[in-house]
Chains A and B, each alone.
Chain A
Amino acid sequence: MRRRLKLLGMSFRPTRAWALPLVLAGLLAGCAQDGGSGVQSAKLSMVQGRGKLVCGVDGKLPGFSFVGPDGRYTGLDVDVCQAMAAAIFGDASKVEFRDLNSSERFAALASGEVDLLSRNTTMTLSRDAPGGNALSFAPTTFYDGQGMMVPVASGITTLKALAGKPICVESGTTTELNLADRMREIGVAYTPLKFQTGDQTYAAYLGGRCIAVTSDRSQLAAKRSSFPNPEAHTLLKDVMSKEPLTPATTNADPAWADAVRWTVNALIQAEELGITKANITSKVAQAKANPNQPDLRRFLGVEGDFGKQLGLPADFVVKIISAVGNYGEIFDRNVGPASKLKLDRGVNNQWTKGGLMYSPPFR
């Protein structure tokens, strides 16, 4: 005879109850504790084992990350992901892209769903600090500033003229906070309309619900290029903030963050040295033939062990430049003269040409 028994108000058949902890234990098998990372990056080993890099991007921002009609991702942010894949695998195609909205991005990175966040993300103190979002930022890949876009027909030319008007903004962005700060400074009351995704934000703006939309100036220019009637919209002159858009990893794995940092530096350094996708092969041949160019030889991995120190192949720089070109090429192709956005290099030029792009030495 079997008897029913009550435990915590539930009735169990004694024999069946034995199975419960077994099932739960089985479920738990996958949730082992996180191991600490040693010299070798745990994340890098994991990515190598998986055979591909998972990269978080916006996916809907022309010039930075955008899915073309052929289903391929292109853009400045995308090229950073591909440079990283080239550095690890020697193959820029070994990337899986994850579209993330601004609210999801940090959780996706913190939980390990993406290895690298290359999604027009502004570097700030609170996002960097261990007590905040605890990210680890690579070098900035695009120096931007916040702007405001209005329809030309509205006749609005200053921020003050936006008093009492609804302004569309994407929630969970630095732009949302900068908007509140700037408007408070100039003492203008306004109505913020917040949307979870860029698509909804721009749909509401185009639908005429708000008189202005605010975001990074590059993003506004990019979105405008995909509007049905781009000439009908204009950017106000005011630059409301500094927005250094920067790839990020988590604080948890400094060795992985280093690999990302020096991959981005390699893009910038290659431009400074005049190494391009077109001449990389001849540069390597030149470095191999000429022992009197130690800088070039070290940079291209002909001598020294810089790659190994980062846990990457010795010739990771060669792989990167062969795959995506140097920073200048990436800029021109995606957001510069060769693109629809036609943005000026401006502060994004090399430091030797009066810009902010500066790679620390490879030595």
Chain B
Amino acid sequence: MRDPQALLDPLDRPPWWRDRRVIPWLGQGVVALLLLVLIAFLLGNLVHNLTTRGMLLSWRWLGQPAGFDISETLVPFSAEMPYWRGLVAGLANTLRAVLTGLVGATLLGTLAGMASFSRNGLLRGLTRTYVETIRNIPLLLQLIFWYFVVFLSLPNGTAALQIPGVVLAKSGLYLAGFGQGMHWSLPQLVNGVWQAPLRLSVEFAALISGLIIYSGAFIAEVVRGGIASVPKGQWEAATSLGMGWFATLRHVVLPQALRVIVPGLNTQYISLAKNSSLAVAVGFTDLYSVAETTLNQTGRALEVYLLLLGAYLAMDLVISLLMNGLNRFVQIRER
């Protein structure tokens, strides 16, 4: 007796090895199996070679004293503290550079992007020159230029560049702020050394200048693209209602442009975070710099690189997550 399923079929089903619904799955299964074997082989190879060289993963070194110093830290660190504290101090420095860079580059990029639609031809020209020059020079070169050419040729002591509240010297960037006892105080020269409530090292200043100006150029293009995506009719409608250039941009164009800008911005933010690792070139002790010293002292290359990969991946994923949230917020919500 034939089974009821077969009765519904106008044709007899072929044997499984000729069945069109089975063959593709079979193919995929074999491929998946081969992939698994391949991965197992690679892992086995890795473990075998690491074992013969005595380099199997070990994390005990993280608790040993680091033995090196870090010049500027947000979290307290000294040479007798363990390696992991050093790495945390490095991460804090990286985050400081990335956050400052993000804020600065966004401001600069937005202004430059808006300025490329200005009615003032000179401003438009300057913006285009800025974007086209900066975008086309490697960031590493720019950082080295900022540090060795610009900041290291600053004068020191009384000859330092001074604008009220800000002193720019070779030893650092000094800013006015609330100092001891919450009194507003200006940078002062004490015994030939500048003192101020807020001090940025020139290494940090060179790094964020480079990052902000470089990423700002890319963000300017993202913003320009976003604004250009808003139909011309929107501008004309706003103008006919008597709105000025800035009011049109602020109330009509930018809110619509954000939908296009935010995804592009996400990419730029992620690359800024990754580019911050070029800090080693200008002597700023970031996560990568600490990791490199650690690697040299301990010889644990694999572990240190795994930590580095993990840290940068996590940082970029968090940025992505936040930007995706922002993206959902600015999209048109369909009801």
Could you tell me the distance between the alpha carbons of A278 and B155 in the complex, rounded to whole angstroms? Answer: 55
Contact, CB under 8 Å: A17 / B152: no
Contact, CB under 8 Å: A106 / B296: yes
Contact, CB under 8 Å: A33 / B296: no
Instruction: Determine which residue in B31, B35, B285 has the highest number of CB atoms from chain A within 10 A of its CB, and name it.
Output: B31
Q: Given that A21-B35, A207-B152 are known contacts, is A194 also in contact with B299, CB under 8 Å in the complex?
A: no
Instruction: Determine which residue in B27, B35, B156, B202 has the highest number of CB atoms from chain A within 10 A of its CB, and name it.
Output: B27
Contact, CB under 8 Å: A195 / B69: no
Could you tell me the distance between the alpha carbons of A102 and B289 in the complex, rounded to whole angstroms? Answer: 13
Q: Which residues of A contact B202 (CB under 8 A)?
A: 209
Q: Which residues of B contact A208 (CB under 8 A)?
A: 152, 156, 170
Which residues of chain A (1-49) have a CB below 8 Å from chain B?
A: 1, 3, 5, 7, 12, 14-15, 17-18, 20-21, 24-25, 28, 31, 33-34, 36
Could you tell me the distance between the alpha carbons of A110 and B299 in the complex, rounded to whole angstroms? Answer: 10
Question: Which among A17, A28, A36, A203 is the interface contact of B27 at CB below 8 angstroms?
Answer: A17
Instruction: Answer whether residue A311 sits at the interface, using C-beta atoms and an 8 A cutoff.
Output: no
Could you mark each residue 291-302 of chain B with 1 if its beta carbon is under 8 Å from any beta carbon of chain A, else 0? Answer: 011011111010
With both chains docked as a complex, state the minimum distance between the C-beta of A126 and any C-beta of chain B, in angstroms: 7
Contact, CB under 8 Å: B49 / A34: yes
Could you mark each residue 191-217 of chain A with 1 if its beta carbon is under 8 Å from any beta carbon of chain B, else 0? Answer: 111111000100110011100000000
With both chains docked as a complex, state the minimum distance between the C-beta of A162 and any C-beta of chain B, in angstroms: 13
Contact, CB under 8 Å: A195 / B301: no
Instruction: Answer whether residue B40 sits at the interface, using C-beta atoms and an 8 A cutoff.
Output: no
Contact, CB under 8 Å: A180 / B67: yes
Q: Which residues of B contact A24 (CB under 8 A)?
A: 35, 38
Could you tell me the distance between the alpha carbons of A269 and B45 in the complex, rounded to whole angstroms? Answer: 43
Contact, CB under 8 Å: A180 / B25: no
Which residues of chain B (296-321) have a CB below 8 Å from chain A?
A: 296-299, 301
Contact, CB under 8 Å: B148 / A33: no
Q: Which residues of A contact B49 (CB under 8 A)?
A: 33-34
Could you tell me the distance between the alpha carbons of A251 and B54 in the complex, rounded to whole angstroms? Answer: 10
Contact, CB under 8 Å: B292 / A107: no
Question: Which among A31, A34, A106, A176 is the interface contact of B52 at CB below 8 angstroms?
Answer: A34
With both chains docked as a complex, state the minimum distance between the C-beta of B292 and any C-beta of chain A, in angstroms: 5
Which residues of chain A (92-149) have a CB below 8 Å from chain B?
A: 102-103, 106-107, 110, 126-127, 130-134
Contact, CB under 8 Å: B298 / A132: yes
With both chains docked as a complex, state the minimum distance between the C-beta of A185 and any C-beta of chain B, in angstroms: 11
Question: Which among A7, A33, A107, A193 is the interface contact of B283 at CB below 8 angstroms?
Answer: A193
Q: Which residues of A contact B295 (CB under 8 A)?
A: 103, 107, 172
With both chains docked as a complex, state the minimum distance between the C-beta of A138 and any C-beta of chain B, in angstroms: 19
Could you tell me the distance between the alpha carbons of A34 and B44 in the complex, rounded to whole angstroms? Answer: 12
Q: Which residues of B contact A107 (CB under 8 A)?
A: 295, 301
Instruction: Answer whether residue A166 sits at the interface, using C-beta atoms and an 8 A cutoff.
Output: yes
Q: Which residues of A contact B41 (CB under 8 A)?
A: 28
Contact, CB under 8 Å: B48 / A33: yes
Instruction: Determine which residue in B45, B69, B72, B285 has the highest number of CB atoms from chain A within 10 A of its CB, and name it.
Output: B69
Q: Which residues of B contact A184 (CB under 8 A)?
A: 79-80
With both chains docked as a complex, state the minimum distance between the C-beta of B25 and any C-beta of chain A, in angstroms: 7
Instruction: Answer whether residue A181 sits at the interface, using C-beta atoms and an 8 A cutoff.
Output: yes
Q: Given that A171-B292, A172-B292 are known contacts, is A7 also in contact with B299, CB under 8 Å in the complex?
A: no
Could you tell me the distance between the alpha carbons of A163 and B301 in the complex, rounded to whole angstroms? Answer: 34
With both chains docked as a complex, state the minimum distance between the C-beta of A257 and any C-beta of chain B, in angstroms: 15
Q: Which residues of B contact A194 (CB under 8 A)?
A: 71, 283, 285, 289, 293
- How many residues on A have C-beta within 8 angstroms of the other chain's C-beta atoms? 57
Could you tell me the distance between the alpha carbons of A353 and B32 in the complex, rounded to whole angstroms? Answer: 71
Could you tell me the distance between the alpha carbons of A25 and B48 in the complex, rounded to whole angstroms? Answer: 19
Q: Which residues of B contact A193 (CB under 8 A)?
A: 71, 203, 283
Q: Which residues of A contact B203 (CB under 8 A)?
A: 193
Contact, CB under 8 Å: B297 / A126: yes
Instruction: Answer whether residue A252 sits at the interface, using C-beta atoms and an 8 A cutoff.
Output: yes
Q: Which residues of A contact B38 (CB under 8 A)?
A: 21, 24-25, 28
Could you tell me the distance between the alpha carbons of A185 and B301 in the complex, rounded to whole angstroms? Answer: 30
Question: Which among A1, A110, A127 is the interface contact of B301 at CB below 8 angstroms?
Answer: A110
Contact, CB under 8 Å: B170 / A126: no
Could you mark each residue 71-97 of chain B with 1 if its beta carbon is under 8 Å from any beta carbon of chain A, else 0? Answer: 110000001100000000000000000
Contact, CB under 8 Å: A177 / B292: no
Could you tell me the distance between the alpha carbons of A204 and B54 in the complex, rounded to whole angstroms? Answer: 39
Contact, CB under 8 Å: A17 / B70: no
Instruction: Answer whether residue B281 sits at the interface, using C-beta atoms and an 8 A cutoff.
Output: yes
With both chains docked as a complex, state the minimum distance between the C-beta of A62 and any C-beta of chain B, in angstroms: 21
Q: Which residues of A contact B71 (CB under 8 A)?
A: 166, 191-194
Instruction: Answer whether residue B235 sits at the interface, using C-beta atoms and an 8 A cutoff.
Output: no
Contact, CB under 8 Å: B48 / A176: no
Question: Which among B23, B69, B285, B289 is the interface contact of A14 at CB below 8 angstroms?
Answer: B23
Instruction: Answer whether residue B145 sits at the interface, using C-beta atoms and an 8 A cutoff.
Output: no
A-B contact list, 17 entries, CB within 8 Å: A3-B24, A7-B28, A14-B23, A14-B27, A18-B31, A20-B31, A24-B38, A103-B295, A133-B299, A171-B289, A176-B68, A176-B293, A181-B79, A183-B69, A204-B283, A209-B283, A251-B53
Given pairs A172-B293, A172-B296, 19 additional interface contacts (CB within 8 A): A7-B28, A7-B32, A12-B28, A14-B28, A34-B52, A103-B292, A130-B54, A166-B171, A171-B296, A172-B297, A173-B296, A176-B293, A181-B67, A191-B71, A193-B283, A195-B283, A209-B202, A251-B53, A252-B53
Q: Which 6 pairs of residues, A with B, have the shortest CB-CB distance?
A: A172-B296, A207-B152, A133-B299, A21-B34, A180-B79, A14-B24
